[in-house]
A and B are shown apart, each in its own frame.
Chain A
C-alpha cells in the first residue's frame, strides 16, 4: 500500500498527486490539482477524496489561505440526459428542486 488510490472515481494515485505537487511553484489550489490530475473530476465530484486532497496540499505548506475548494456545478447528483432535457418544457424554475 505504498501507492494508494486517492480518487477512486478517476483512479488517481497518491504518487500521481505527489508528482503533480512536486512540479513546483508557489501556492496551489485544489482546483489546480483537479485540473492537472483529474482527482475529484469523476462521478462523485470529489465528495470522497476532497478531504484527502486538501490534506495533501496542506502538507506541502503551499495551500491557499482561503481555498474555494472544488466547486460543484449542476447537476448536484448524476442525472440522465433525457430527464435533464425534460426540464425545458416544465420551466427551468422547477429544475433545481427536481434535480436530486
Chain B
C-alpha cells in the first residue's frame, strides 16, 4: 500500500466534494478524494432536482445562486456529460392571503435584486401549470429556475475529477487528521495514511464530525428531509414547483397565525425525465435518526394533494430520507478553519447543494489560491460567533 502523498485531500464525494476535487485536479494539483460510502451516498443522492433561484433570499444568498446558475450553462461541456439540464422555469404556489402578502414582498425584493420573477394570479398560474388546485390564489414564476439530474451531476463531477487525475478512494472512512506545529500533515483512512498539507472538509451533514477529528469546530447540523417518489407517469408538471409554505419554512419565516403544517412541510414537486414525480418535503431536526415514519409521509402526501389534486390517484413507489447540512443562516461555510492551518471547511449548503455545487468548486479553488472576494467574505466560519439557532 505504501504512504500516499497529495497536494490536497478532499473528504466527501457528494456534489460539493466532487466539484472541489474536480476544480483542484483541473489545476494540476495532486488530489485524493476520500468518501466513506459511494459518490452521492448522502444528501446529494436524496434530494430533488430543482435549481431554484427564486427561493433564495435577496442579497448574498441570491447572488451566490445566480453566479452558480450561470456556471451551469457551460458545465455539461466541461464535464463531458449529459446532466439533464433543463431551463424550464419554476413556480411557487400561493394558497392563502397571508402567503400572498409574504410572497408579494419576497418577489418585490427579488425583482430589485435583478431576478426575472413575476407574480401570477390564480388563473394565470393554472394556465401555466394546469394541475394546480382551483383554490390556489396565485403563484410567482421565474423563467430562470432550472432543473438538473443530481445523480448525473454527482457522477459527472466525480468522474471528471478522476479524469483530471484525482485519485478516488470510496468506501473508505477517514479516521483521523494528523497535525504538527498547528498545520495539517496527514489524513488517516481505513486504507492507510495520506501525507498532505491541505484537507478540505466537504462532508455535508457530517462535517461537524469530520471537524472533530481535527479539533475544528464546524457549526453544521443535520436537518432531515423526506421526499416521496411516484411511479413513472405522463408529463404533468411544467418545470419545478414549490409552495409559499416551503419558502416560509426554508427561511424560518413566520407567516400568518396558526395553521403551520407539522414537520416543516412545504411542497416541492418536479418530474424526472423517466416520468417519476418527486414530491417533497419535510424539514426536521432529529439528529441522524433516519427513520422518519409514516406520519411525515402522510403529511407530505396530504399537503401535495391539496395543491395538486391530480396527485391523489398516483402511486408512490418509494421514498428518500436524507440529511441537509444546516448552518442556521441558509448559507454554506467556505473558509479556512481558524484552529488549524491547512484545514478548509466547505459544507453547510442545506437544501442548496445542487444549486451551489458549481460555484463552491470555484470558491474553494480561489481560497486555496489565496484569493478573496465578496462571496468568501460572506461565507466565513466566524460569522457564527454565537451558537446556531435550533
What is A's interface to B at a CB cutoff of 8 Å? 10, 23-29, 31-32, 35-36, 38, 41-43, 45, 64, 72-75, 78-82, 84-88, 92, 95-96, 99
Contact = CB atoms under 8 A, between A and B. Distances in A.
Contact residues of B: prevailing secondary structure: mixed
A38 B316 contact: no
B241 to A, nearest CB: 15
Interface of B: 37-41, 45, 151, 154-155, 159, 162, 168-172, 228, 230-232, 274, 279, 293-295, 297-299, 301-302, 304-305, 311-321
Contacts of A81: 228, 230, 279, 301, 304-305, 311-316
Contacts of B162: 24-25
B41 A80 contact: no
A27 B312 contact: no
Nearest to B302: A85
B367 to A, nearest CB: 28
Contacts, number: 121
Contact of B313 (A42, A64, A80): A80
Nearest to B304: A81
Contacts of A92: 293-295, 298
A63 to B, nearest CB: 10
B269 to A, nearest CB: 12
A31 B304 CA distance: 28
A35 B45 contact: yes
B100 to A, nearest CB: 25
B39 A43 contact: no
Contacts of B319: 73-75
Contacts of B293: 92, 95
Contacts of A43: 231, 317
Nearest 7 pairs between A and B by C-beta?
Answer: A32-B38, A95-B294, A92-B295, A85-B301, A88-B298, A85-B302, A82-B312
